[in-house]
Amino acid sequence: MSVWPAWKVRDGGGATVWFGVRLEFGDGARVDAVAVVSEGCVSIEDVRAEPALSLDDLAALADWIEGPLSEACGIGTGPDADGGEGGEDADGAGTGRAGSGWPRGVEGQWLIAQKYRAAQEAGTDPVLAVMSATGHSRRRSLRLIGQARDAGFLTPRRARR
């Protein structure tokens, strides 16, 4: 993976920096992205892929580039940063932040489901409950909830109409 600064705009006391990101895979597939860093937050502005990414791959893109991009930007590079020494284990369950203490694999998925259902029964936002329990971002918590659904611990989502 390659990350390089594309341009920087100074505004008042801070700056907004755009980075180019390229992932190249052994089979010839390539993903190019433009990421912007402003006030310590990283967001993706543009993605181009050959061949096109599936929705699952697009959702995983942020996880693929988060660590190297954070290092290039100089933010969130400590051992407790998301994307630092965490990651995914063999069955796809997130390990979370290094030292977070959240269990891996099936046990972690079961606990996510318990937190989610408890919040639903209490009439509170289940995603916020999972975020609070795990210490992860909304995006990462939604992925963990999806993994708990895939493992059969939560009912499938209702289809939107």
**Chain segment 57-82, per-residue pLDDT in tens:** 877 777 777 777 777 766 654 444 44
Q: Quote the pTM value.
A: 0.44
Cα–Cα nearest to 156, from 93, 122, 113: 113
Q: What is the pLDDT of residue 57?
A: 80
Rank 67-76, 85-94, 106-115 by mean pLDDT and report only the highest: 106-115
- Cα–Cα distances in Å, from 158 out to 154, 155, 161? 12, 9, 9
